[in-house]
Structure 1
Amino acid sequence: MEIMLRAAKGRLNLSGIFPPIPTPFRSDECIAYEKLASNIEKWKTIPFAGFVVQGSNGEYPLLEPQERVDLVLKVREYLGCDRLIIAGSSCESTRATVKMTQKMAEAGADAALVLAPHYYKSNMTVPTMEKFFKTVADQSPVPVILYNMPANTGIDMGPDIVTSLAHHPNIIGLKDSGGDITKMARIVKKTEELDFQVLAGSAGFLLPSLLVGCVGGILGLANILGREVCQMLQCYHQGAVEEALVLHKKFLEPNAVVTRELGVPAMKKACEFAGLYGGPCRTPLLPLSEEQVNRVKNAFQKSCYFLEQ
């Protein structure tokens, strides 16, 4: 399996679908590791390339540093060694991000997913961000994947800075959640000689991103409709683009509800409809109202995904 996980030049192969898994909590907001184990057993039956632990859907800003590391340890224990683990190691300071990245690697992560620091966003100039990412990559025992999430950070990393960072030997890819297909196409074009891979950050634009050269996606919707998302990717690779388009259109409404509109609480509720453990979020995130729960259910049912609670 090791050969399959690595690209021709020895770099990690990021092709495929990666769900950014939610962190399960009990009613007292402690992590429910037994529920995590049962969810992973179900996800293991789906042909995912790997899993993202402590992405945005993992509620990582609401966790203590040791909890973040422990989650990677547990996922590696439950998953075994035949699939990739990409760990979100973002912190605000360079120092903290380096330390977290190193701990994630020790815990079993194959790669680190790193956002630009954004609390002081007005100071995040191109030189500042380049210095940050290069320092993290220099000191990381595992490859680094850039994470562009402008909706949450207020920072949209453009093609020039991404291309510059792509020359670093330990920066191997980008997850882009901005949804600007033209920009993603430019990044793919500018980095095509660099063994650098681009992943879509949402099922809402997965198919268009594949058409411009992206290799897969880190997709919140894959937590719920993982088999269907993988089927769409397979259709695309087999040249059945019309079939892929049919699936793509069916993803649009459910994906919008559990990502852009209602976020992590809706993601967890949809997991419950799909037979997984969702459970509560950690506060300050609140549970959905009854009206919002119905919106989630209706979004899936209208797309012919009849999820039962």
Structure 2
Amino acid sequence: MNFAPKGVLPAMITPLTKDGKVNEKALRKLIDFLLDGGVHGIFAIGTTGEFYCLSNDEYRMILEVTKDQVAGRVPVYAGANHITTRGSIELAQIAQEVGVDALSVLTPLFISPNQQQLIKHFTDVAASTDLPILLYDNRPKTHVALQPGSVVELAKIKNIIGIKDSSGDMTNTAENIRLTRDMDFDVMIGRDTLIHANLCYGGAGAVAACANVAPRICADIYDKYVAGDIKGSLEAQFRLAPLRIAFSLGTFPTVIKEALELLGIEAGPCFEPVGPMSSDEKEQLKKILKGMELL
């Protein structure tokens, strides 16, 4: 396929109203904030977007609003994540009807499929759509690992064009790059502290939750690297690190939403049972944002 993932893609939050409804107005404003920050695509309804809480109708609405607001300025990626193959195919078909540019498909969660079952899962989802697909390995969350050998097999499928590797294991990421380096396949990192490292190994970029809050810093890691300013890229990576490390201050993804609110960008609550941060936790987060010169 001609489509190739690259750059920094924000793993966009789903802004909510106080009563837990999708906040369309805030979503449109957030998209413009991210694009003004220099990101290279918009990644909707992934883990940071709380995909596990949304109905199919809400899923379609978010993608329609996102595609409309982006208006062709950058590619739009949509998560098609579900416990079952059938569920992922249903979401993939909705995303294709809306007209997004590419899909990301997570390994199933809660269950524990083996590698052959994972290969069949992704093969079947890929066969159900004409859209380019990024595999998505987030083993810290799902406890299901897509091994590099399986990635190689899946990379042979025409519309599987890359992987978002959120393993947090640079050896695993490096193997994904090494084993597919002669194939039409790209590796995006899903751990925000490793964006620079992924580029150094030959990766194509990142899907970054922190880019919701610090889009310019995240984009600088990529932009400076490809411009040959390796030192500047590394400095941007170091500047970003405290925000990613601060994720432990609250239940994911509340830290990202709280940080946006501190910046004056409406994000709203997370879906319950995830609750807000404490006053002390918010103060710690505020200090981090000030140290990053975002506040």
| Global fold match (TM > 0.5) | yes
Q: What residue in structure 1 maps to residue 12 of structure 2?
A: 21
Please give the per-residue CA displacement for 1:207-261, whole angstroms capped at 9, x wherever unaligned.
1111101111000111111111111212211222122222211211111113786
Q: What residue in structure 2 maps to residue 276 of structure 1?
A: 265
Whole-Å separation in 1 of the counterparts to 2:272 and 2:84: 24
TM-score, normalized by length of structure 1? 0.91
Q: CA deviation at 1:139?
A: 1.0
Matched, 1:172 2:161: yes
Whole-Å separation in 2 of the counterparts to 1:157 and 1:229: 26
Flag the 1:224–1:294 CA change in 2: closer, same or farther, 3 A: same
How many percent identity over aligned positions?
25
Matched, 1:193 2:187: no
Q: What residue in structure 1 maps to residue 48 of structure 2?
A: 57
Contact 1:11 1:172 in 2 (8 A): no
Q: CA deviation at 1:273?
A: 2.3
Pick one of 35, 47, 56 that aligns with 1:44.
Answer: 35
After TM superposition, the structure 1 stretch with the greater mean CA deviation from structure 2, 142-151 or 228-237, is: 228-237
Q: What residue in structure 1 maps to residue 293 of structure 2?
A: 305
Q: What residue in structure 2 maps to residue 32 of structure 1?
A: 23
Pick one of 149, 163, 173 that aligns with 1:184.
Answer: 173
Q: How many residues align?
A: 295
Q: What residue in structure 2 maps to residue 206 of structure 1?
A: 195
Please give the per-residue CA displacement for 1:74-103, whole angstroms capped at 9, x wherever unaligned.
101111123111101111111121111011
Letter in 1 for 2:176: I
Letter in 2 for 1:278: A
Q: What residue in structure 2 maps to residue 90 of structure 1?
A: 81
Whole-Å separation in 2 of the counterparts to 1:151 and 1:218: 16
Q: CA deviation at 1:112?
A: 1.1
Flag the 1:286–1:199 CA change in 2: closer, same or farther, 3 A: same
Runs of 4+ with deviation above 4 angstroms? 259-262
Whole-Å separation in 1 of the counterparts to 2:129 and 2:275: 35
Contact 1:221 1:258 in 2 (8 A): no
Pick one of 108, 113, 118 that aligns with 2:104.
Answer: 113
Whole-Å separation in 2 of the counterparts to 1:247 and 1:144: 29
Give 3-state SS (helix, strand or coil) of 1:35's partner. helix
Letter in 2 for 1:59: E
Please give the per-residue CA displacement for 1:179-227, whole angstroms capped at 9, x wherever unaligned.
2112211211211121100001022111111110111100011111111
Q: What residue in structure 1 maps to residue 117 of structure 2?
A: 128
Whole-Å separation in 2 of the counterparts to 1:231 and 1:115: 27
